[in-house]
Amino acid sequence: MRRLPAVLLLTSALLALTACGSSNDAAPTEAAPQADAQGRIRLSAAQTANLGIQRTPAVAADSVPVTGLPAEVTVPLASSAQVTMPYAGVVTRVLVDEGESVRRSQPMLRVQSRELVAVQADYARARAESGLAAQQAQRDALLQREGLIPAARAQESRARAQVASASLQQAGASLAQLRPSGGAAGEFELLAPQAGRVVHRQVAPGQALEALAAAFTLSSDDRLDLEFAVPVELATQLRVGQPVALPGGATASVAAVGGDADAGAQSLRVRAQLAAGSGLLPGQQLDVTLQLPAPAGAVAVPVGALLQDGDGHLLFVLEGDTWRGLPVRLLGGDGRHAIVTGEGLRAGLPVASAGANLLKTLTAAE
């Protein structure tokens, strides 16, 4: 009963508008619009225009946009490398900075390290021991061939030589990522493990670093990725290759989907590869839109056509000259269109894109 005054006002307004522009001798005024027992409303063209109701055909939807997903630009795993400190020390000089390109084995950092002094001493000792063991093995092999010593002794010498050689290789491997700077004892230069571009620098002159601390992040090419999370209920719809839209027109495509859900946020990690020329930078944060495949029968309608109806949604569709409310399921959408499904809803069917609230008010009053 509380809606009745609003309906009377609408009816009066319609009658007045219909009468405007007509002479006193014109035909009788049209009856005020009323909903039938099924909630359908028949309107003439004049009544539709006077109430400001506009119609737009529903369009078949091939995708469902999932909007507002927070994302971060990252360097691809396959083309990135962390440059780490082989020994603890203090940075004396930074030789490259972010954005610079480096070649393989180019010095990137100069470090003073007391640990290096001990390692260099171990390497010199291992080299001397390996040389002596190799010489002894050669002598014993000659003596064994001449029958002066038993074969077991020659075998022992060869085994010791092999152990000493392995120790030398191990000591040398720990020095492969650096070279002496030519300055004070214990000062070395940290070398680039691969050619690429410096995307992140984590060190500064005077900084004390522990062994294995990250110093730089390198990227071997200009490719970039996006990392974002999607609700876990969409897991069955995620596929590699699905498009991702970014602000400004840049695009990406899904490259990998996480295999486990975040227990707290109940979301899945997704990694997408950015198209070339995006103009974005590693670490940049933005909101993206994931395009999921639309189910059969889904259509796109203007956002203004969709009405809240309790816990669900409602569209008014035009069948002939009769409007009726149609319950629909909202799948997603963007700022302009909503993607919906509903029984009897199909592409090409006109929907009320403006004035739908008036239609709902008229049907609710009956």
CA distances from 42 to 21, 320, 344 (A): 22, 9, 19
Q: Both tokens of residue 248?
A: 């400004």
C-alpha to C-alpha distance for 249 and 268, rounded to whole angstroms = 25
Nearest to 218 by CA among 353, 322, 105, 306: 105
In the chain the first and final C-alpha atoms are separated, in Å, by 10
- Ranges of H-type helices in 61-197: 114-145, 151-173
Give the rounded distance of the alpha carbon of 133 from its chain centre. Answer: 57
Give the per-residue pLDDT at 11.
46
C-alpha to C-alpha distance for 193 and 218, rounded to whole angstroms = 9
Q: Averaging pLDDT over each range in 40-44, 99-103, 111-115, 334-338, which range is the top one?
A: 99-103
For residue 124, which amino acid is it?
A: A
pLDDT tens track for 62-91: 999 999 999 999 999 888 899 999 889 999
Q: Both tokens of residue 213?
A: 């601390």
Please name the residues in contact with 148: beta carbons below 8 A apart, sequence gap of 6 or more: none
For residue 33, which amino acid is it?
A: P
Average pLDDT, stretch 254-270? 91
Give the per-residue pLDDT at 243.
95
- Helices 356-365, 4-19: crossing angle, 10 deg rounding: 120
pLDDT tens track for 135-185: 988 988 888 888 888 888 888 888 888 888 888 787 777 666 667 766 677
129 or 243, greater pLDDT = 243
pLDDT band of 256, cuts 50, 70, 90: very high
Give the per-residue pLDDT at 300.
95
Determine the 3-state secondary structure of 4 from DSSP.
Answer: helix
- Does residue 280 register a pLDDT over 80? yes
132 or 21, greater pLDDT = 132
Give the per-residue pLDDT at 31.
66
C-alpha to C-alpha distance for 294 and 271, rounded to whole angstroms = 21
Percent of the chain beyond pLDDT 90?
A: 43
pLDDT band of 43, cuts 50, 70, 90: confident
pLDDT band of 218, cuts 50, 70, 90: very high
Give the per-residue pLDDT at 177.
64
For residues 17 and 50, the answer to whether their CB atoms sit within 8 Å is: yes
Q: Which long-range contacts (CB under 8 A, 24 or more apart) does 93-98 make?
A: 93/205, 94/201, 94/203, 94/204, 94/205, 95/189, 96/198, 96/201, 96/216, 97/198, 97/201, 98/198, 98/199, 98/200, 98/201
Query: How does the average pLDDT of the chain come out, rounded?
Result: 85
- Does residue 19 register a pLDDT over 50? no
pLDDT tens track for 93-108: 999 999 899 999 999 9
